[in-house]
């Protein structure tokens, strides 16, 4: 995939799946702007990968619309365009409708739902003006089926899924495509941190157990999600819009 002439904005692009997306688009020639709340970590990743010329990190809290507006304005001022927006920033949460507090629900909403809306709200006017653009939202298999103890997270990803359908419908006449990806469990630093915190001394055992919850017998790799993203945002996928793509090792269907 050649993204040499493309300006790509990726929220939460400094770690995990987000970093795999950032690195994938950058190594395919794209100029990538990362909207990242943890600017220091993102810049460390950029330097370690030697991508300072292809990737720039802007400190951004996507839950704050003025922050997003300012970052988008800076990108437009320096490049004049935004070709691709990847809404990847998100937080996880464990809890049921009973155990989830109002404060926890509000936090998940602010990042996973409002954060996506803020990026859409701020970037779409430029894409409409260009009469072109591609938007890719990071949903989850949790949007399509029930996962135990994932009440707030699941409802937030359900909202991401329906925002995908709505944006695709509303802006198809403006030359804008919008799709989403729904990963199952992917091996990221978050998984390692979760196991270390909740199962000290049993990390290897629980990692194996979590891996086997995917019918294919393993967790996904961030690079596999990035490969799908690069295809969906490319001209090779120009006939695809308003569609969600599970990447789940058979989790939903098998």
Q: What is the pLDDT of residues 2-50, one digit of tens each?
A: 999 999 999 999 999 999 999 999 999 999 999 999 999 999 999 999 9
Instruction: Give the whole-angstrom CA distance, residue 105 versus residue 97.
Output: 10
Name the catalytic one among 3, 153, 171, 245.
Answer: 153
Q: What confidence score (pLDDT) does residue 198 get?
A: 86
1 pLDDT more than 90? no
Q: Respond yes or no: is residue 153 known to be catalytic.
A: yes
189 vs 62, higher pLDDT:
62
Q: What confidence score (pLDDT) does residue 122 get?
A: 98
Q: What is the pLDDT of residues 57-87, one digit of tens each?
A: 999 999 999 999 999 999 999 999 999 999 9
Q: What is the pLDDT of residues 124-157, one digit of tens each?
A: 999 999 999 999 999 999 999 989 999 999 999 9
Q: What is the pLDDT of residues 206-245, one digit of tens each?
A: 999 999 999 999 999 999 999 999 999 999 999 999 999 9
pTM for the whole structure: 0.96
Looking at domain 7-184+223-247, its CATH architecture is 3-Layer(aba) Sandwich (3.40)
Q: What confidence score (pLDDT) does residue 194 get?
A: 84
86 near 136, Cβ under 8 Å?
Answer: yes
Domain regions of the chain by residue span: 7-184+223-247, 186-219
Instruction: Give the whole-angstrom CA distance, residue 85 versus residue 68.
Output: 13
Three-state SS for the chain is CCCCCCEEEEECCCCHHHHHHHHHHHHCCCEEEEEECCHHHHHHHHHHHCCCCCEEEEECCCCCHHHHHHHHHHHHHHHCCCCEEEECCCCCCCECCCCCCHHHHHHHHHHHHHHHHHHHHHHHHHHHHHCCEEEEEECCHHHCCCCCCEHHHHHHHHHHHHHHHHHHHHHHHHCEEEEEEEECCECCHHHHHHHHHHCCCCHHHHHHHHHCCCCCCCCECHHHHHHHHHHHCCHHHCCCCCCEEEECCCCCCC
Q: What confidence score (pLDDT) does residue 189 get?
A: 86
Q: What confidence score (pLDDT) does residue 190 get?
A: 84
Distances, alpha carbon 117 to alpha carbons 13, 47, 88, 111, 239, in Å: 17, 30, 12, 10, 24
Q: What confidence score (pLDDT) does residue 64 get?
A: 98
Q: What confidence score (pLDDT) does residue 3 get?
A: 98
């Amino acid at each position: 995939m050649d993204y040499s002439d493309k300006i790509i904005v990726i929220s939460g692009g400094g770690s995990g799946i987000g970093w795999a997306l950032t690195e994938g688009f950058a190594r395919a020639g794209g100029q990538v702007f990362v909207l990242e709340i943890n600017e220091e970590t993102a810049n460390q990743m950029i330097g370690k990968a030697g991508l300072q010329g292809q990737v720039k990190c802007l400190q951004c809290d996507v839950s704050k619309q003025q922050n997003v507006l300012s970052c988008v304005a800076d990108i437009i001022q320096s490049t004049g365009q935004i070709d691709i927006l990847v809404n990847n920033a998100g937080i996880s949460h464990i809890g049921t409708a009973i155990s989830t507090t109002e404060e926890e629900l509000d936090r998940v909403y602010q990042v996973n739902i409002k954060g996506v809306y803020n990026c859409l709200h701020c970037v779409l006017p430029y894409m409409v003006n260009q009469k072109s653009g591609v938007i890719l939202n990071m949903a989850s298999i949790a949007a399509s089926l029930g996962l135990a103890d994932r009440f707030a997270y699941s409802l937030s990803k359900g909202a991401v899924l329906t925002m995908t359908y709505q944006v695709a419908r509303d802006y198809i006449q403006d030359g804008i495509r919008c799709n989403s990806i729904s990963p199952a469990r992917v091996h990221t630093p978050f998984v390692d941190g979760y196991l270390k915190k909740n199962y000290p001394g049993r990390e290897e055992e629980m990692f194996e157990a979590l891996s086997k919850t995917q019918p294919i017998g393993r967790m996904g790799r961030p690079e596999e999600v990035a490969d799908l993203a690069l295809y969906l945002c490319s001209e090779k996928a120009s006939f695809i819009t308003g569609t969600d793509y599970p990447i789940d090792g058979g989790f939903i269907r098998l």
